[in-house]
Amino acid sequence: MEDQKSTSHEKKLGQNGIVQPLLTDLYQITMAYAYWKSCKCDDIAVFDLYFRKNPFQGEFTIFAGLEECIKFLDKFSYSQSDLHYLKQILPSIEEEFFNFLGSLTAKDITIYAIEEGSVVFPRIPLIRVEGPLIVAQLLETTFLNLVNYASLMATNAARYRMAAGNLTLLEFGLRRAQGPDGGLSASKYAYIGGFDATSNVLAGKLFNIPVKGTHGHAYITAFTNLSDLKTVELQHKDESESKDLLELAKRWRTELAPIFKVLVAEISDGELVAFISFAIAFPHQFIALVDTYDVIKSGLPNFCAVALALNDLGYQACGVRIDSGDLAYLSIVSRKYFTEISDKYDLPWFKDLMIMASNDINEETILSLNDQDHKIDCFGIGTHLVTCQKQPALGCVYKLVELNSKARIKLSQDVSKVTIPGKKEVYRLYGESGHSLVDLLQKGDESPPEPGKKVLCRHPFEESKRAFVTPSKVEKLYKVYWKNGEICKPIRNMQEIRERVKRSMKTLRSDIKRNLNPTPYKVSVSDKLYSFLHDLWLQNAPIGELS
């Protein structure tokens, strides 16, 4: 019965079955019990989910994971087997609590949030959770788990996208990802952040994102000499005649050897045979991994010979993948040969053959390659992208800001860790150029800023930092996503969220997005919220005595 329930939910909303109420920290359950025992069942709370610092030494973050939080709320309920397990691990807890826990759903929770795929900034709550204290508290860990890696990964991907401009970006990280679920999330959020496709077949099936790939070194080294090839015939693309692709390629190789300044004997036969067998299997999509032996002396001559042989049979090859060595230099050399052959044999498409580069690529490698005038069309990126090597976690937190209509504040010696109390609204103020100028947090009962009207924006903690802003446009960032037990906005597909990322990134000034020493984006509070925050701070900070 339970299995049927979860399967039908997965079918309906497409959420990973691992995401369930027990995917949480034990302390959420023990807190729930202690709240319950202290008669806090009717308390109404407001929690803010936000981060304090942008990742990757950057000044922006892409918000992702919201849709998964909403799907989680839709099925939030403890099953009989969950309760049975909890009874086992918490034997001292009163039986009646488990009846209470079993009756909980998210129907009294309301979710206000910024749209998934938006650029977001420190201290601005991405999600505001309102509702019964116990249920709202029980959501903490799962929500943070769903948002932290998703946002980190989408941000990482968006940064690679910025570095690569319009070039094709393929995500190849599954083998290096943090386990099966990390691998799936990586593929999904890399796509949202701006990658074009993934090599992860299950991600393609589950999330309807494009899948792409080439072949590995094992394929090339699985062939050693010309006799390894059992099938050599390939039918012409448009005609009925078939020809021996091996013979055609050998002839071309002999003709091309002087162009590459190599002797035919120096070129690997095993590699040629591997290329031919792959070309026979995929004549319309022939792509060759050219760095197994020597890119210039073997990989490129073999590839060009097979590409020209395919051309004799009416097919156009796709290109090459280079997976080691100096990627800028090898791409420049590859393009030079493609252009020379294109001119010599009057084949215009040959000079535009795709050059894919892979091998431990990260954001800095791409930026460095850009400075070297590389001729790469496509990057295949795995390890550094999916493990977020530059920063392995985003630090989103989930803090109580109001209880029973009374604002709560968490103090800290570290000012950046002081919470901004109470229920708040967020507005993004835009300038005439269409770029966003500032995000403004206001108390929930203040009237919103208006276009053309001057508004005072204050740094939340530094008194002297303040400015007047006259916005051309004001965007209210929160929308209601979940209320009265129902999803209030249609769950969007990957494509739509990806488009949102693109649009949102365009509203950011380029100095805020740049890789080196970017300008911080201004996050501010209204004058009223500033006074409220600091008054509450003083009320809650006891005056010490010096002795």
Ligand X SMILES: Nc1ncnc2c1ncn2[C@@H]1O[C@H](COP(=O)(O)OP(=O)(O)OP(=O)(O)O)[C@@H](O)[C@H]1O
Residues that bind ligand X (CB under 6 A): 324-328, 359-361, 365, 368-369, 372
DSSP string, 448-504: PP-TTS-EEEE-SS-TT-EEEE--SEEEE--EEEEETTEE-SPPPPHHHHHHHHHHH
Helices and strands (DSSP H and E) totals, the chain: 19, 23
Cα 115 to Cα 126: distance, rounded to the nearest angstrom: 9
Determine the interface stretch with ligand PRP among 20-28, 259-267, 377-385, 524-532 (rule: CB under 6 A). Answer: 377-385
Q: How many CB atoms lie within 10 A of CB 41?
A: 14
Q: Binding to ligand PRP by residue 359, rule CB under 6 A? A: yes
What region, left, alpha or beta, does residue 231 occupy, with left being phi > 0 and alpha being psi -120 to 50 degrees?
A: beta
Q: How remote is the C-alpha of 128 from its chain's centroid?
A: 22
Cα 80 to Cα 85: distance, rounded to the nearest angstrom: 9
Exactly one of 343, 360, 450, 535 binds ligand PRP (CB under 6 A); which one?
A: 360
Q: Across the chain, which distance is largest between two alpha carbons, in Å? A: 101
Q: Is the CB of 365 or the CB of 526 nearer to ligand X?
A: 365
Extract the runs of DSSP E, i.e. beta strands, from 145-300: 168-171, 197-198, 233-235, 242-244, 287-289
Q: Binding to ligand PRP by residue 295, rule CB under 6 A? A: no
List residues bridging with 486 in a β-sheet. Answer: 483
Exactly one of 16, 178, 368, 383 binds ligand PRP (CB under 6 A); which one?
A: 383
Backbone angles phi, psi at 292, to 5 degrees: -65, -40
Q: How far is the CB of 326 from ligand NIO (least distance, A)?
A: 19
Contact by Cβ (8 Å): 54, 60: yes
Q: Is the CB of 321 or the CB of 428 nearer to ligand NIO?
A: 321
Q: Binding to ligand NIO by residue 183, rule CB under 6 A? A: no
Determine the interface stretch with ligand PRP among 258-266, 358-366, 388-396, 409-417 (rule: CB under 6 A). Answer: 358-366
Q: How far is the CB of 383 from ligand PRP (least distance, A)?
A: 3
Site string for ligand PRP, 305-334 (x = CB under 6 A): ------------------x-----------
- Residue 156 interacts, among ligand NIO, ligand PRP, ligand X, none and using kind-specific CB cut-offs from 5 to 8 Å, with none
Q: How far is the CB of 327 from ligand X (least distance, A)?
A: 4
- Residue 199 interacts, among ligand X, ligand PRP, ligand NIO, none and using kind-specific CB cut-offs from 5 to 8 Å, with ligand NIO
Exactly one of 51, 78, 143, 172 binds ligand NIO (CB under 6 A); which one?
A: 172
Q: Is the CB of 145 or the CB of 331 nearer to ligand X?
A: 331
Kindly list the distances between the CA atom of residue 484 and the CA atoms of 32, 65, 115, 425, in Å, as whole numbers in the listed order. 22, 21, 20, 21
Cα-atom radius of gyration of the chain, to the nearest Å? Answer: 29
Site string for ligand NIO, 206-245 (x = CB under 6 A): -------xx-------------------------------
Handedness of CA 511, 512, 518, 522 (dihedral sign): positive
Contact by Cβ (8 Å): 136, 151: no
Determine the interface stretch with ligand PRP among 168-176, 399-407, 452-460, 521-529 (rule: CB under 6 A). Answer: 168-176
Q: How many CB atoms lie within 10 A of CB 374?
A: 21
Exactly one of 55, 132, 194, 380 binds ligand NIO (CB under 6 A); which one?
A: 380
- Residue 214 interacts, among ligand NIO, ligand X, ligand PRP, none and using kind-specific CB cut-offs from 5 to 8 Å, with ligand NIO
Q: What element of type H or E holds 25?
A: none
Q: How far is the CB of 264 from ligand PRP (least distance, A)?
A: 27
Q: Is the CB of 247 or the CB of 360 nearer to ligand PRP?
A: 360
Residues binding ligand PRP (CB under 6 A): 172, 175-176, 323, 358-361, 380-384
